[in-house]
Amino acid sequence: EDQVTQSPEALRLQEGESSSLNCSYTVSGLRGLFWYRQDPGKGPEFLFTLYSAGEEKEKERLKATLTKKESFLHITAPKPEDSATYLCAVQANAGNQFYFGTGTSLTVIP
Amino acid sequence: NAGVMQNPRHLVRRRGQEARLRCSPMKGHSHVYWYRQLPEEGLKFMVYLQKENIIDESGMPKERFSAEFPKEGPSILRIQQVVRGDSAAYFCASSRSGSETQYFGPGTRLLVL
């Protein structure tokens, strides 16, 4: 069964304290892995798409990496405005739907 | 370029009433997906549609729920005879043909009293 597990559930960082969020997945043929950011009361905002092991994508303080079993979202020198829930989703070759994890709630303290 | 539009943003219904949720995809996008998000749970896929076609409804409850994406106008998710367990945030996403990336709307928060 296709599934996604994200850890930790919640993370508190001091401003400037770098860390990583983990997304472990089981899928019968990966078509793509997606990272989103969701602020309270809003819809998920697209961040990255990764397609194959070894691929990396960067955007400002965020960097996403992918292996055959997991993806990491690295946050370098975070700022309070990076506080949000970060969602990971996978799409299998056989279907169209996304399977989402339950997210990591990140709080960056000034 | 406007993003995915959903309305209403908030909807209150009493048990037994009908709820209609609307979604207008991004310009140039012909694929629409509906997801449901319950408190403390992840987003769950419900249905995938293209214009005038339901492609995958494997996540839709068998009863009371239906979806459409007509040739003209927005996609509509319809919930008949709502129950308290239907209270959730419903998100619509759209994608361009040939692209896997889905862009999400702001959601409709349904509260059933």
Higher pLDDT, B6 or B1: B6
Interval B40-93: pLDDT, tens: 788 999 999 999 999 999 999 999 999 999 999 999 999 999 999 999 999 999
Task: For residue A7, give every residue at least 6 positions away whose Cβ sits within 8 Å of its Cβ, in sequence order, or none.
Answer: A21, A22, A24, A104
Chain A stretch 87-106, residues whose beta carbon is closer than 8 A to a beta carbon of chain B: 87, 89, 91, 95-103
Higher pLDDT, A43 or B2: A43
pLDDT at A74 exceeding the cut of 80: yes
In whole angstroms, give the CA distance from residue B108 to residue A41.
10
Strands A45-50 and B31-37 turn out to be unpaired
In whole angstroms, give the CA distance from residue B96 to residue B107.
19
pLDDT at residue number B83 = 96
Chain A residues within an 8 Å CB radius of B6: 43
Chain B residues within an 8 Å CB radius of A46: 101-104
Chain A residue nearest residue B50, CA to CA: A96
Kind and range of the H or E element at A45? strand A45-50
pLDDT at A53 exceeding the cut of 90: yes
3-state SS class at A82:
helix
Average per-residue pLDDT in chain A? 94
> Do the chains contact at A102 and B42, CB–CB below 8 Å?
yes
Best to test chain B binding among A100, A102, A104, A105 (most B CBs inside 10 Å): A100
The verdict on B111 touching A (C-beta cutoff 8 Å) is: no
